[in-house]
């Protein structure tokens, strides 16, 4: 379980990296075709919207901590954590609780769901 937790944390944090966020092919590999995200602001979008937006936006600075892993099935896991994010061009940090669901497909883990909930 610890090895899986380390693997999924590594994949999650890849999505924080400007190089990965700016590369369509990398995002396409990490996000499942049925990916859905619900943002802290309450909007929802899928993989195609993420692929159309992320490579062209200025990435935020994200730091994560307090990771927890829950195995939902042999090929499906939920990663929970607390994130501190500073959006590009801003100086104030936003803190949120995050939840990602990762599924093993063709020997590769892909994110199929992500949600952030703002902490006031």
Residues 93-96: contacts with CB under 8 Å, at least 24 apart: 94/40, 94/118, 95/119, 96/40
What is the pTM assigned to this prediction? 0.94
Convert the pLDDT of each residue in 22-41 to its tens digit: 999 999 999 999 999 998 88
Convert the pLDDT of each residue in 62-116 to its tens digit: 999 999 999 999 999 999 999 999 999 999 999 999 999 999 999 999 999 999 9
Instruction: Specify the pLDDT at position 105.
Output: 97
């Amino acid at each position: 379980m610890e090895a899986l937790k380390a693997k999924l944390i590594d994949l999650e944090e890849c999505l924080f990296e400007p190089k990965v966020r700016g590369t369509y092919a990398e995002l396409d590999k990490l996000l499942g075709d049925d990916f859905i995200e619900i943002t802290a602001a309450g909007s929802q979008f899928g993989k195609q919207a993420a692929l159309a937006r992320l490579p062209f936006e200025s990435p935020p600075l994200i730091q994560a901590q307090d990771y927890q892993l829950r195995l939902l099935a042999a090929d499906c896991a939920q990663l929970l954590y607390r994130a501190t994010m500073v959006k590009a061009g801003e100086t104030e940090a936003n803190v949120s609780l995050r939840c990602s669901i990762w599924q093993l497909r063709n020997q590769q883990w892909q994110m199929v769901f992500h949600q952030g909930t703002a902490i006031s």
